[in-house]
Amino acid sequence: MTNKLTIRGFDVHKGRLPVEAQESLVADLRAVAQAAPMRSPVTRWGKPMSVKMTSAGRLGWISDRRGYRYEPAHPDGQAWPPIPESVLALWQDVTGLARVPDCCLINYYGEGARMGLHQDKDEGDFDWPVVSISLGDEGLFRMGEVEKGGSTESLWLQSGDVVVMGGPARLAYHGVDRIRFGSSRLLPDGGRINVTLRVVEG
Domains along the sequence of the chain with CATH: 3-198 (2.60.120.590)
Q: Give the pLDDT of residue 202.
A: 64
Q: Give the pLDDT of residue 90.
A: 97
Q: Give the pLDDT of residue 4.
A: 93
Q: Give the pLDDT of residue 201.
A: 86
Q: What is the mean pLDDT of each run of 10 residues along the chain (202 residues)?
A: 88 97 98 97 90 97 93 96 98 96 98 95 95 98 93 97 96 97 96 98 75
Angle among Cα 61, 143, 178 to the nearest 5 degrees reads 75
Element spanning 26, H or E = helix 19-35
Between helices 19-35 and 85-95, what is the axis angle to 10°?
A: 130
CB contact at 8 A, 161 and 136: no
10 phi/psi in degrees, rounded to 5:
-80, 125
CB contact at 8 A, 126 and 52: no
pTM of the model: 0.95
Q: Give the pLDDT of residue 149.
A: 87
